[in-house]
Amino acid sequence: MPDHPAPPPYGFFGPVGTFTHQALLSLPGPFVPVPYATVPLALQAVRVGEVAASLVPIENSVEGGVSATLDNLTYGSPLVIIREALLPVQFTLFGRPGIALTDVRQVLTHPHAAAQCRDWLATHLPAATVTEGGSTAGAAAEVANPQSRFDAAICAQLAGEMHGLAPLATGIADNADAVTRFVLVSQPGRVGPPTGADKTTLVLFMRENHPGALLEILEQFASRGVNLCRIESRPTRRTLGDYCFSIDAEGHIDDARLAEAMMGLHRTCADVVFLGSYPRADQIPPDVRVGTANEDYAAASAWLTQLRG
């Protein structure tokens, strides 16, 4: 008889062997990884309670934001980020067992991987045809199929190994410093406590698309001493030229300066979507400017109360 509960199931953007899978395995457990074919399916599994949380990619240092994730979190029913993970993007060319690098003619991979290895491919496999498919892990699976017309796949280390392929070249990304950021998403509940090095993700919709709107938003943060670590305009799924802003701000919803900035945004924006306060993967504490610490906010509040008499 078990005397402890079963580990919770955690979804991820699969199939088995993706970079997301690899990133999930870097998180502390225990949990049971469950692959989902698409980001929306991985997130839907959280909403219906099939899994306790799901890991999905949100940003890539080369390609930018991951639309499927950003849009699903923005427009779907509420979910929140509870943790983030960073993974260096290290592409490997895996071949059918027995093939030599010089014999590779047909390469299969995901379009992003193809884009990020373009220079390497042009230099080392100038004669090869590169075909873009749905995922790097799927490409590895296809190459492992003896009937496949493909000789090699560009994929994560994990995928090549799982499918018994042979590494032909490692570290083939044109930009050796590329990193992908993943977020672990769960149903909303009590927000975890501040750790001193936190991040908060928000999506902001303008009340009207007027020229100074973004300037006003940035001033809501600046006037409270909140720094931003990411800002990305996103089309709002309405007409071209109508944007919302996906933002990561330094700090936690329990930090007074961020709380006041968020209330300011709630008042001045048409809509604010809160996507969670969570520990930073890099554990870098914020640069708290003079007058913006929690104690400064508390002192200001006490001063006001005393003035009111």
* DSSP element (H, E) containing 222: helix 213-222
Q: Write down the least CB distance from residue 98 to a copy of itself, Å.
A: 27
Give least dist CB 83 to a copy of itself, A: 16
How near is the Cβ of 276 to a copy of itself at its closest, in Å? Answer: 10
> Which residue, 27 or 288, has its beta carbon nearer to a copy of itself?
288
Is residue 212 a contact point for a copy of itself (CB under 8 A)?
A: yes
- Residue (6 or 240) nearer to a copy of itself, CB: 240
Quick one: which of 172, 134, 169 has its CA closest to 151?
A: 169
189 in contact with a copy of itself (CB under 8 A): yes
149 binds a copy of itself (CB under 8 A): no
Q: Which is nearer to a copy of itself, 3 or 295 (CB)?
A: 295
Instruction: Establish if 75 lies at the interface with a copy of itself (CB under 8 A).
Output: no
By the rule CB under 8 A, 197 interacts with a copy of itself: no
Q: Which residue in the set 241, 279, 285, 288 belongs to the binding site for a copy of itself (CB under 8 A)?
A: 241
Q: Where are the beta strands (DSSP E) in 139-263?
A: 152-155, 166-170, 179-186, 198-205, 228-235, 243-250
Smallest distance, a copy of itself to C-beta of residue 204, A: 13
Q: Of the ranges 8-16, 17-25, 156-164, 171-179, which one interacts with a copy of itself (CB under 8 A)?
A: 171-179
What contacts 24+ positions apart, CB below 8 Å, involve 283-292? Answer: 283/197, 284/197, 285/196, 285/197, 286/197, 286/227, 286/250, 286/251, 287/227, 287/250, 288/225, 289/225, 291/225, 292/224, 292/225, 292/226, 292/257
Is residue 188 within the footprint of a copy of itself (CB under 8 A)?
A: yes
Binding window for a copy of itself (CB under 8 A); candidates: 21-29, 90-98, 132-140, 155-163: 132-140
Q: How many CA atoms lie within 13 A of 30 on its CB side?
A: 5
CA torsion sign for 65, 44, 74, 288 is: negative
In DSSP terms, which residues pair with 166 in a beta bridge?
Answer: 95
CA gyration radius, the chain: 23
- DSSP H or E segment with residue 106: strand 106-109
Binds a copy of itself by CB under 8 A, chosen from 52, 101, 228, 288: 228
Candidate ranges 90-98, 129-137, 152-160, 164-172; the one touching a copy of itself (CB under 8 A): 129-137
What's the CA gap between 111 and 132, in Å, rounded?
5
User: Binding residues for a copy of itself, how many (CB under 8 A)?
Assistant: 77
| DSSP SS3 for 264 | helix
Does 262 bind a copy of itself (CB under 8 A)? Our answer is yes
Report phi then psi at 226, rounded to 5.
-100, 125
> Per rule CB under 8 A, is residue 40 in the interface with a copy of itself?
yes
- Residues 76-115 touching a copy of itself, rule: CB under 8 A, are 86, 111, 115
Q: Measured between alpha carbons, how far is 224 from 291 in angstroms, rounded to an integer?
A: 9
229: contact with a copy of itself by CB under 8 A: yes
48 binds a copy of itself per the rule CB under 8 A: no
x-marked contacts with a copy of itself along 269-298 as a string, rule CB under 8 A: -----x------------x--xxx---xx-
Measured distance CA(309)–CA(141) in Å, rounded: 73
Interface segment toward a copy of itself; rule CB under 8 A; list 49-57, 91-99, 147-155, 183-191? 183-191
Residue 117 CB-half CA count within 13 A = 30
